[in-house]
Chains A and B, each alone.
Chain A
Amino acid sequence: MPQTGIVFRGEIPARMTIDIFLQQLVNGLTLGAFYGLIALGYTMVYGIIGMINFAHGDIYMIGAFVALIGFVVLSTVGIASVPLAILIVLVLAMFFTACYGWAVERIAYRPLRGSPRLAPLISAIGMSIVLQNYVQIAQGARTKSLQPIVHGQYSIDVGQGAHVSVSLLQIIIIVLTVALMAGFTWVIRSTPLGRAQRATEQDATMAALLGVNVNRTISITFVIGASLAAVAGMMATLYYGVIDFYIGFIAGIKAFTAAVLGGIGSLPGAMLGGLAIGLIESFWPVFFDLAYRDVAVFGLLILVLIFRPTGLLGRPEIEKV
C-alpha cells in the first residue's frame, strides 16, 4: 500500500514530537482499520471450519473493484451527493462481494468438507488465482484510478505551532470501522445467529444435534467476512484512489498476519492485530528506513509465534473434555 502522511526517509528525528506522534497515530489507525476489517474474515473462517481462506485477500480486491465501478456509474448517472453515493456504493459493494464470498465457499470449499486439511487450503490458493485472473481479464491489468471524491482536511493545532492534519475520509474510515466492529461483535455475542456460529465453531456435530443448519451457518460466516472485506475494499478505493487486480495479495498477507498476531480464531484478536500492524507500519518510518517496514511487520509475527504461539488474545487449549 502507498505510504501516506509524514515520512522520514533514512533520517532519524532527534526526538518524537507530539505532532509527529499524533499524525502517525491517525495514519496508523486508518491503516489498522483496513487490516482489522480484512483480518476478521480470516479469523472467522478459521474459527468455524479451521481453514485459512487464502482467497480472502482477493475478495477484498473484488470489493474494491465493485466500489470503483459503483462510484464511476453513480457519477455518470449524476448523483452528486457524496454521502448518498458512499452509502449506495457501500451497500452494493457489500452485497456483490458477499455473493462472491458465498460462491467461493459453495464451489471450492464445501465439496471438500471432511477431506484432509490440506485439500481446502490448496483449493483456496487456486480460488485466489482464479479471482485475480478473472478480474485481470474482465477489468484489464492496468491500474485503475478514481478522482478523490471526499474532500475535506482538518488541521488541528496541537500547540507550539505544531499541526496535525486529519482528512475527512480518515474520520469516515475510522468511525465506519469502529461502528461495524461494534455491530459485528454484538451479533456474534448476543444473537441466535452469533450463538449458532460459535456453537458450530466449538462442536459442529453437536450444533447440528440442536437443530443448527451447519452448512448455512458456515455460508453466513463467509458472507459476513466478505462484506466486511468489501467495506475495506471500498475504503481503499476512496483512500488510495488507485487499485489493480493484485492489491488483494499483499493486503491479504498483512491482514492474515494481523489475524495470527491477535490469535487466529479470536475476533477481538483480529481487531487488535489489525490495529497493531497499522500502528507499526505508520510509526516504523519515523525511526527507521521505510524499506524495512514489511520486515518489521513479519519479524514481529515471527517473534509472537515463537514466544506466544496462540497470538496476543488466542487461548491456550486447556479445557475439560
Chain B
Amino acid sequence: MLSVEGLHAAYGRIEALDGVDLEVKQGEIMSLVGANGAGKTTLLMSICGAPIVTAGRIVLDGEDLAGVPMHEIIRRGVGHVPEGRHIFPRMTVLENLRMGGYAVDPKHFSADLERVLALFPRLKDRLSQRGGTLSGGEQQMLAIARALIGRPRLLLLDEPSLGLAPLIALQLFQAILGINRDEKLTVLLIEQNAYQALKLADRACIMVNGKITLRGTGAELLANPAVQAAYLEGAA
C-alpha cells in the first residue's frame, strides 16, 4: 500500500533521514521503534508531504507522492495523529471531530461520529467542551477519533501513548488493534513504548540515526536480544 524507497530528509543542513526503505502492506500494523531523534516523526511527516524530503520516493497505492501537497495526500486516504496531539484548542470537541471529516462527504458524518464515540465513550460527555480544556488522555482519544472520522485507509500514529497513564495507554492500544481487525485499517505506528508497539505489530522496524537497522515480525523483534537490551529492559 505504502512504499518508501531510499528516503532522505533534512532540516536545513541537519540530516534527519539517511536512506529509509519501508514497505507497509494492506491491512497490517507496522510498528516503528526507536530512540528520540531517530527520525521517526520526520518519516511520518515526509509521508504526508512536509517539504523536507531531499531524495528518495514515497509511493502510495502505486502513485508517487513527489510534489503532491499535504492536504491532497490526506484526501487520498491517509490519516495522521501527530505527536503532541494537536487538538484545536479553541474549538469544541464536536468541532474538532467535524474538522476530522473536513475532506469527507458530510453525509457520512453522523454515522462516523457514532462509531468513534462508541470507541471512545469518554468523548461523548465532552462534545461541547473546548478541546484545550481536555486532559491529555482525552486529547489523545480525540486526536485518534478525529483522524478516524476522516475515513483513512492508512492511519499514521505518532506516539499515541506519550504522557498517558499505563492503563489508558493499554486501552488505547486495544482500541487500535480493534480498529485494525474490524475495519481492515492499515496502521503505521511509532512508539517509544517498545514492548506494546512490538506486541501489537504484525511487522516492525527498529530505527537508529535516520536509518532502519532491524526488521522482522513483532514477535521476532521482541525475542531479539539486542532489541531487548536496547529498548525493552525491564518492560517484559
Query: Which residues of A pack against B, CB within 8 Å?
Result: 192, 195-196, 198-199, 202-203, 205-214, 315, 319-321
4 additional contacts (CB under 8 A) given A202-B91, A205-B86: A199-B99, A211-B103, A211-B150, A213-B71
Q: Which of chain B's residues have a CB closer than 8 A to the CB of A212?
A: 71, 99, 102-103
Q: Is the CB of B95 within 8 A of A211?
A: no
Q: Is the CB of B95 within 8 A of A208?
A: no
Q: Is the CB of A210 within 8 A of B99?
A: yes
Q: In the complex, what distance in Å separates the CA atom of A207 from the CA atom of B146?
A: 12
Residues of B102-159 at the interface with A, using a CB-CB cut-off of 8 Å, are 102-103, 106, 132-134, 136, 139, 146, 150
Q: Is the CB of B89 within 8 A of A211?
A: no
Determine which of B48, B102, B150 lies in contact with A196 in the assembled complex, contact meaning CB atoms within 8 Å. B102
Residues of B69-106 at the interface with A, using a CB-CB cut-off of 8 Å, are 69-71, 74-75, 80, 82, 84, 86, 88-91, 95, 98-100, 102-103, 106
Q: Which of chain A's residues have a CB closer than 8 A to the CB of B82?
A: 205-206, 209
Query: Which residues of B pack against A, CB within 8 Å?
Result: 48, 69-71, 74-75, 80, 82, 84, 86, 88-91, 95, 98-100, 102-103, 106, 132-134, 136, 139, 146, 150
Q: In the complex, what distance in Å separates the CA atom of A207 from the CA atom of B98?
A: 12
Q: Is the CB of B88 within 8 A of A192?
A: no
Q: Which of chain B's residues have a CB closer than 8 A to the CB of A213?
A: 69, 71
Q: Is the CB of B84 within 8 A of A195?
A: no
Determine which of A195, A205, A315 lies in contact with B99 in the assembled complex, contact meaning CB atoms within 8 Å. A195
Determine which of A206, A208, A321 lies in contact with B88 in the assembled complex, contact meaning CB atoms within 8 Å. A206
Q: In the complex, what distance in Å separates the CA atom of A203 from the CA atom of B106?
A: 22
Q: In the complex, what distance in Å separates the CA atom of A17 from the CA atom of B217?
A: 86
Q: In the complex, what distance in Å separates the CA atom of A76 from the CA atom of B193?
A: 76
Q: Which of chain A's residues have a CB closer than 8 A to the CB of B74?
A: 208-211
Chain B: minimal CB distance from A318 (Å): 9
Q: Which of chain B's residues have a CB closer than 8 A to the CB of A198?
A: 88, 90-91, 95
Q: Is the CB of A208 within 8 A of B99?
A: no
Chain B: minimal CB distance from A269 (Å): 14
Q: In the complex, what distance in Å separates the CA atom of A199 from the CA atom of B91?
A: 8
Which residue of chain A has its CB nearest to the CB of B96?
A199
Q: In the complex, what distance in Å separates the CA atom of A320 from the CA atom of B163?
A: 13
Q: Which of chain A's residues have a CB closer than 8 A to the CB of B70?
A: 208-209
Q: In the complex, what distance in Å separates the CA atom of A198 from the CA atom of B80?
A: 19
Q: Is the CB of B89 within 8 A of A320?
A: yes
Q: In the complex, what distance in Å separates the CA atom of A16 from the CA atom of B34?
A: 75
Q: Is the CB of B89 within 8 A of A195?
A: no
Q: Which of chain A's residues have a CB closer than 8 A to the CB of B132?
A: 319-320
Q: Is the CB of B88 within 8 A of A202?
A: yes
Which residue of chain B has its CB nearest to the CB of A206?
B86
Q: Is the CB of A210 within 8 A of B90?
A: no
Q: List 11 A-B contacts (CB under 8 A).
A: A202-B88, A202-B90, A203-B86, A205-B82, A206-B86, A209-B74, A210-B74, A211-B103, A213-B69, A320-B132, A320-B139
Q: Is the CB of B71 within 8 A of A195?
A: no
Q: Which of chain A's residues have a CB closer than 8 A to the CB of B48?
A: 209
Once A211-B71, A214-B71 are accepted as A-B contacts, the answer to whether A195 and B98 lie under 8 Å apart by CB is: yes
Q: Is the CB of A210 within 8 A of B91?
A: no
Q: Which of chain B's residues have a CB closer than 8 A to the CB of A203?
A: 86, 88
Q: Is the CB of A195 within 8 A of B95?
A: yes
Chain A: minimal CB distance from B135 (Å): 8
Q: Which of chain A's residues have a CB closer than 8 A to the CB of B91?
A: 195, 198-199, 202
Once A199-B88, A319-B89 are accepted as A-B contacts, the answer to whether A210 and B103 lie under 8 Å apart by CB is: yes
Chain B: minimal CB distance from A278 (Å): 28
Q: In the complex, what distance in Å separates the CA atom of A209 from the CA atom of B78?
A: 9
Q: In the complex, what distance in Å separates the CA atom of A207 from the CA atom of B71?
A: 8
Q: In the complex, what distance in Å separates the CA atom of A6 from the CA atom of B91?
A: 45
Q: In the complex, what distance in Å separates the CA atom of A195 from the CA atom of B103?
A: 12
Q: In the complex, what distance in Å separates the CA atom of A195 from the CA atom of B91?
A: 9
Which residue of chain A has its CB nearest to the CB of B149?
A210
Q: Is the CB of B88 within 8 A of A209?
A: no
Chain A: minimal CB distance from B64 (Å): 20
Determine which of B69, B80, B89, B134 lies in contact with A202 in the assembled complex, contact meaning CB atoms within 8 Å. B89
Q: Is the CB of A209 within 8 A of B80?
A: yes
Q: Is the CB of A211 within 8 A of B102?
A: yes
Q: Which of chain A's residues have a CB closer than 8 A to the CB of B150?
A: 210-211
Once A195-B95, A320-B134 are accepted as A-B contacts, the answer to whether A208 and B89 lie under 8 Å apart by CB is: no
Which residue of chain A has its CB nearest to the CB of B48?
A209
Q: In the complex, what distance in Å separates the CA atom of A52 from the CA atom of B157?
A: 36
Q: In the complex, what distance in Å separates the CA atom of A195 from the CA atom of B106?
A: 14
Q: Is the CB of B99 within 8 A of A207?
A: yes
